[in-house]
Amino acid sequence: HLVWWFLHIAAQPFVSRLVEAQTAVPNDKPLSVDQGSFDLGLEGIQDGGVVTRFPPEPSGYLHIGHAKAALLNEYFARIYNGKLIVRFDDTNPTKERVEFEDSILEDLTLLGIRADAITHTSDYFQQLYDYALLLIRRGLAYVDNTDKETIKYERDFDIASSCRDQTVEENLERFEQMRQATDFGQTCCLRAKISVDCPNKAMCDPVIFRCNLTEHHRTGDLWKIYPTYDFCCPIVDSLEGVTHALRSMEYRDRNPLYEWFFPALDLRPVAIKDFSRMNFVYTLLSKRKLQSLIDQGAVTGWDDPRFPTVRGIRRRGMTIDALRQYVLMQGASQKNMLLEWDKIWALNKKLIDPVAPRHTAVVKQGLVPATIVSAPANPEVRDLPKHKKNPDLGTKRTVFSSLVFIDQADAATFEQNEEITLMDWGNAIVESIERTSEGTVIALSLCLHLEGDVKTTKKKITWLGQAPDLHPVEAMLADYDYLITKKKLEKDDSIEDVLTPVTEFLEPAIVDVNVDSLQQGAIIQLERRGYYIVDKTRAQNDLGLVTLIKIPDGKATNLAIKYKEVPGAKTKKA
């Protein structure tokens, strides 16, 4: 609410005037590079009269880039007491599924985005077909049976298609063959007749209708021809009363095409404004490329914690509040930026740290049993706070026993007669260390020294005790790397050449018994290890383990590429 209030104030005209005046005053303090502007220069603003739209294609799951577009469209609709339309651009039945529509609506709800209307481009198929006929009759469109390669070649070299000067009657007859999906009709496409030699190739007679025999998930086999996004978007925007079409700058070259259809079809024009895409380092946002990774088995699905989808980053521990705040911090700037992941994860950490219960884990590999001399003969169970600074989180059961388990990494650093601190218990003296011939610690003997000052010890150690009815729980700690090894993927780069061979790192561990009662999606902090989210409970895991995924904390060292190149290494399937 605080973020929304500041954004509301920032959008007021008098604040804009003050900001302009302030920028004229020298200031040595630079503006935050993460704070974007919301000044898109929207024209014709009327309170209560602004209508925006978010038009996702139901061919995949929402990713973080879509989240920005959705939140900005909602922001401008709400700030001017207007209306937000969520419209599914379902014009390619080959790639679209009901599953994707459902997931998009669920993710928008999680993001706190409330649509005033939910529509589909397929609701307008008949009208779009009629508008295509109108363009043909006006001599502004023609049916072309040239193959794709030739069309591309002719467009690149400013060559007119041999079909460009066909009569209206010929084009109407051919378009009917497209509608009926005859053998000849299936070789054709409908192109807008705009320009042959425009420097902006988006204006060089673009394709606006094409054949597709795949059954549509809403209209079935009623249609065999479907409009392209470039054709249907401006038309449906106008029909639905959209006043301002906000979209990312990747469409900037297509803006003149968007505006061309309004006078050509006598439609009410819609103001179009663009904003920068939200691109992240080592990250793929192309749905086609993400789908290819799924098909290759490099990931488990659209909700894989390595994916930049809303579901993927949520599964890795990103909170919806952090995602919303970060996107709105970026504003509607038109400056293209390649963003690091550290800021958004650091913001997420600030939100989860005060409310994440503290728990304990010990890695199973090399786990060291330690005998505690002078510990209670029978295990004691005490209730300790889950979070010392947040008593509202309640308490957890902690077992104090004469046998405890300690990490090999900690035990290996101990020296004879050294005083250490057992966290939440007190100090202890290392009486004996038993090692293998290779130097691996296999047993310890510690003597409690509870009167010792914990402030004087250098080593604060996590540990786990056990009681007959309270044993540590088996767990799997998961951490992930970037899917690609290159910060920014260039146009000619092949995914196979930059795919990180190993991106999943699993570490068996034991955790305190309290973790067993946590629900899927619960966020905790494992003391001295970092933040984790419960990905699967024991009941949900075939192996009977609790699966915990590590949440990045925004520190650069923790976000660095983990994979170290090994000659001849191949990509490991998920």
Q: How confident is the prediction for the chain on average, in pLDDT?
A: 92
Main-chain dihedrals φ then ψ at residue 243, nearest 5 degrees: -100, -35
Q: Between 370 and 567, where is the model more confident?
A: 370
Contact 50, 244 (CB under 8 A): yes
CA distances from 265 to 127, 136, 171, 251, 385 (A): 12, 11, 18, 21, 68
In terms of Cα–Cα distance, which of 371, 507, 504 is closest to 430?
371
Number of domains within the chain: 4
Residues 381 and 333 in one domain: no
Active-site residue identified among 68, 247, 287, 529: 287
**Residue at token pair 């946002």:** 285
CATH number of the domain that 325 lies in? 1.10.1160.10
Split at pLDDT 50, 70, 90, the class of 180 is very high
Measured CA to CA in angstroms, residue 162 lies from 145, 172, 431 at distances of 9, 17, 92
Of 195, 212, 227, the one marking the end of a domain is: 227
Q: Is the pTM of this model over 0.75?
A: yes
Q: Catalytic: which of 53, 57, 218, 386? A: 57
pLDDT of residue 31: 33
> Is 568 part of a structural domain of the chain?
no
Q: How confident is the model at residue 27 (pLDDT cuts 50, 70, 90)?
A: very low
Considering the domain boundaries, does residue 570 fall inside one? no
Alpha carbons within 13 angstroms on the beta-carbon side of residue 367 total 20
In degrees rounded to 5, what are phi and psi of residue 480?
A: -135, 155
Residues 232, 234, 239, 241: is their CA dihedral positive or negative? positive
Catalytic residue among 95, 97, 179, 277: 277
Quick one: average pLDDT of 261-286? 93
Determine, yes or no, domain membership for 571: no
pLDDT over 60 (residue 34)? no
- pLDDT for the residue 28: 40
Domain that holds residue 424: 367-460
The last residue of a domain, from among 263, 279, 295? 279
pLDDT above 90 covers a percentage of the chain that reads: 80
Contact yes or no for 292/30 (Cβ under 8 A): no
For residue 32, pLDDT over 50 is answered with no
Cα angle value 15/19/20 (rounded, 5°) = 120
Mean pLDDT lowest for which of 96-110, 192-206, 436-450, 546-560? 546-560
45 found inside a domain: no
119 and 243: one domain?
yes
In this structure, is residue 4 part of a structural domain? no
Claim to verify: residue 118 and residue 134 sit in the same structural domain: no
Same domain, 246 and 119: yes
pLDDT at 493 over 80: yes
Note whether 393 and 521 are same-domain residues. Answer: no
235 and 308: one domain?
no
Q: What angle do CA 496, 497, 502 make, to 5 degrees?
A: 75
Q: Report the pLDDT value the prediction gives residue 128, as an integer from 0 to 100.
A: 98
Q: What is the mean pLDDT of residues 527-549?
A: 96
For residue 495, which of 301, 250, 312, 282 has the smallest C-alpha distance? 282
* 557: exposed, middle or buried (Cβ count in 10 Å: 0-12, 13-18, 19+): exposed
Q: Is 74 a catalytic residue?
A: no
CATH number at residue 255: 3.40.50.620
pLDDT at 13: 78
pLDDT digits (tens, 9 = 90+) for 337-349: 789 999 999 999 9
Identify whether residues 374 and 415 lie together within a single domain. Answer: yes
The answer, yes or no, to whether residue 525 has pLDDT greater than 70, is yes
- Indicate if 441 and 493 belong to the same structural domain: no
Is 277 considered catalytic here?
Answer: yes
Q: What mean pLDDT comes out for the span 274-280?
A: 89
CATH number (domain holding residue 168): 3.90.800.10
Residue 22 in this model has a pLDDT that exceeds 90? no
Question: How buried is residue 134: exposed, middle or buried, by Cβ count under 10 Å (0-12/13-18/19+)?
Answer: middle
pLDDT for residue 158 is more than 50 = yes
Q: Which runs of E-coded beta strand occur in 332-436?
A: 337-339, 358-359, 361-363, 368-373, 380-385, 395-400, 403-406, 419-422, 426-435
Tell me the pLDDT band of 25, cut-offs 50, 70 and 90. very low
Residues 293, 275: one domain?
no
| Residue 82: Cβ-neighbour burial (10 angstroms; 0-12, 13-18, 19+) | buried
Confidence of residue 565 (pLDDT cuts 50, 70, 90): low
Choose the final residue of a domain: 460, 487, 510: 460
Lowest mean pLDDT among 4-8, 179-183, 297-301, 364-368: 4-8
The predicted structure's pLDDT at residue 33: 42
Query: Is the Cβ–Cβ distance between 248 and 285 less than 8 Å?
Result: no
* Strand locations in 67-167 (E): 83-88, 117-120, 141-144
Using DSSP bridges, classify how beta strands 225-227 and 403-406 pair: parallel, antiparallel or unpaired.
unpaired
Distance CA 160, CA 396 (A): 76
Task: Determine, yes or no, domain membership for 142.
Answer: yes
Mean pLDDT value across residues 535-546:
94
A 10 A CB-CB count for 268 gives 11
pLDDT recorded at residue 270: 97
Instruction: For residue 72, tell me if it sits in a domain.
Output: yes
Quick: pLDDT tens for 217-237: 999 999 999 999 999 999 999
Using one digit for the tens of pLDDT, what is the confidence trace for 347-395?
999 999 999 999 999 999 999 999 999 898 899 999 999 999 999 999 9
117 and 239 together in one domain: yes
Give the per-residue pLDDT at 29.
Answer: 35
Is there a single domain that holds both residue 59 and residue 100? yes
pLDDT in tens, 313-339: 999 999 999 999 998 888 777 777 789
Q: How far apart are CA 311 and CA 103, in angstroms?
A: 9
Report if residue 405 sits inside a domain.
yes
Which DSSP category does 31 fall into?
P
Tokens linked to 301: 């699905």
Q: State the average pLDDT over residues 289-297.
A: 92
Same structural domain, 482 and 520: yes
